[in-house]
Structure 1
Amino acid sequence: MIKYGRVLAIGVLLAAGFVAAPAGAAPASSSASCSLRLGSVTPGGDHTLQTITAAPSASVRRLGPMNLYPDGQAHLPTAVRTELVAPAGEQRTGLVALGPRMYGTSYITDGTGVSVVPGTVKQTLVGGGWDELHKYVELSQYSVAGFSRSNVYSLINQFTDGLIARWTVTPSGWKYYTTFGGFKAVKTMTLIGQGRAYDTFLATTNGGALYTVQVPTGSGKPVVTKIRTSTWQGFETLIAEKCGIYGTLLLGIDKDTGAGYLYAVSHANGTATVIKGLGKVPTTFPAEDSYFRYYTAGTQLTGA
């Protein structure tokens, strides 16, 4: 069972500036061709797939593969990495909690994309303790020539504080568990930037503010920077995809209404960050689903 380590109490983090975007960073207005592959886990344990474009537009939601997980058990899915498999399939790999236990999962699709190749579904137990206190989980895999790392993050609602937890994933398991306090007000978050020594998230608060949270993968404390002060409290889920060289295509899902709204976000730069509203996505997002992003292996997020 995964046990929580000693809390590194850092209080309520104050805003601190990020380095401005490099010259030539893509502005929000250059997002017309950007898209994301949106996935979800249904209450019946099925996967879905739907392409959302910056138009905004939405393809028909495809159901499948079906019955990957027991009914009513799957929650907290991470982004799913995809790799093409000959002759026409796709290997999909990620993490998902089944009840209180976290698993590494993978499967290979056939040519239809909605059915699995028999015998390819795998589920590897990571550990327990994944109860309702966990609000969000993500796996970040980063690699450049001669260097690679994998880290898992979780947003946890403790009784007296909100924590961001971080693990380092090694061939022998999840290690170096660290927690950072001061995040009780965070409602949801999504990964937008990956680097050699950090991961950066967009986070909304219950009061409607929007922040970036840069979490180091080694020593040090997170750096929190305010982007906006209000109006972001309506989203229960955020999904982000790379858009251009340094931008982000951001989907906010309001589970109370089933509506989703798209935004083009420039490279994160505090309150100078450009956010362009692209409009309401012409589809409905079922509130009972848990949403994630499919991404191509090797894609690195560069929004911060």
Structure 2
Amino acid sequence: MIKYGRMLAAGVLLAAGFAATPATAAPAGTAGACSLRLGSVTPGGDHTSQTITAAPSAGVRQLGPMNLYPDGQAHLPTAVRTELVVPAGEERTGLVALGQRMYGTSYITDGTGVSIVPGTLHNTLIGGGWDELHKYVEASQYPGRSNVYSLIQQFTDGLIARWTVTPGGWKYYTTFGGFKSVKTMVLIGQGRTYDTFLATTNGGALYTVQVPTGSGKPVVTKIRTSTWQGFETLIAEKCGNYGTLLLGIDKETGAGYLYAVGHANGTATVIKGLGKVPTTFPATDSYFRFYTTGTILAGA
């Protein structure tokens, strides 16, 4: 399996009215047993960690490890993969942009989970060009393949860019146009030949965007027509066998709302509003998801 923090670099579409419940039936799986591990990068370059459950409830927000990155530089973090290590702690790997450069980050925590084992922090340069036109980035690892995606809002169009990650670096750069109206997106489904995202438009619609990992064009399918424009950030975690626990963060108010989303099926997709999360989400943080090695998203 490729470790982002150690590899060498080679070089359209959301928020159901906050007070409304968009559907009455629960998605596949028992939503009440689902949770996600929310992470963020602070303006000071620190990581945070907090458990969000479908109740909804929020655990204590832990600060640390601290000073991973220079102040005010980190943005566009991807999900961070975690793996337990002996005798305690875990290895964490992911991607993050520092200024206009993308890096792979890898470190090992001690038993506290908020401090780094000395000598284990590695920030490996991948490449430049990660300016303010990039609005979202995510990595998807599936057995036998690894891809990275970015939402790029250019002056005349919106693009979804895709790279294939190999031991020799990022290759086969491909872009797909027609996504100018997309506000934000989040990975909800992974397969051998595709990755699927939930995406929101500035006008409030909610879509799935299935992006092939090889040849072909994305398939865009409408889920809802309005009221999903209020979230700047979406975080998704597997819920049951085929569902998704979805967190929408409204950075203007610091509020977060939780949804249980059934397996994606166009306008027939079941979405149940679980309510407002009882905590505040700082607007200055950049949010991501911690996930356990081997977790495959199956929401589409």
With structure 1 as the length reference, what TM-score do the two structures score? 0.90
After TM superposition, give the deviation of residue 2 of structure 1 in Å.
Answer: 8.6
Tell me the residue number matched to 2:233: 237
The question of whether the paired residues in 2 share the 8 Å contact of 1:28 and 1:276 is answered with: no
Maintained 8 Å contact 2:82/2:293: yes
Q: 1:202 aligns with which of 185, 198, 202?
A: 198
The 5 A counterparts of 1:220-235 are: 220-235=216-231
Match runs of 1:1-304 below 5 Å? 27=27, 30-143=30-143, 148-304=144-300
Q: Which runs of 5+ in 1 are unaligned?
A: 4-11, 14-25
Deviations 1:2-30 (A, max 9, x none): 99xxxxxxxx89xxxxxxxxxxxx82572
Quote the Cα distance in structure 1 between the aligned partners of 2:152 and 2:229: 18
Which structure exhibits the higher relative contact order, with contacts defined as CA atoms closer than 8 Å and separated by 6 or more residues?
A: 2
**Distance of 1:255 and 1:2 partners within structure 2:** 35
Identity over aligned residues, as a percent? 88
Q: Is the 8 A contact 2:29 2:240 kept in 1?
A: no
Q: Deviations over 1:255-279 (max 9, x none)?
A: 0000000000000000000000000
Deviations 1:131-150 (A, max 9, x none): 0000000000001xxxx100
Residue 32 of structure 1 aligns to a residue whose secondary structure is helix
Displacement after TM superposition at 1:224 (Å) = 0.2
**What runs of 5+ residues in structure 2 fail to find an aligned partner?**
1-8, 14-25
- Structure 2-normalised TM-score? 0.91
What do residues 90-147 of structure 1 show as CA deviations (whole Å, max 9, x unaligned)?
Answer: 000000000000001110000000000000000111000000000000000001xxxx
**3-state SS in 1 of match to 2:142:** strand
In structure 2, C-alpha distance between the alignment counterparts of 1:82 and 1:161, rounded to whole Å:
36
- What is the letter of the counterpart of residue 196 of structure 1? R
Query: What RMSD over aligned residues (CA atoms) do the two structures have, in Å?
Result: 1.4
Q: What SS does structure 2 have at the residue aligned with 1:151?
A: strand
Q: Secondary structure at the match of 1:71?
A: coil
Question: 1-side partners of 2:44 and 2:188: how far apart?
Answer: 29
Q: Deviations over 1:226-267 (max 9, x none)?
A: 000001000000000000000000000000000000000000
User: 8 Å contact 2:28–2:242 — kept in the other structure?
Assistant: no
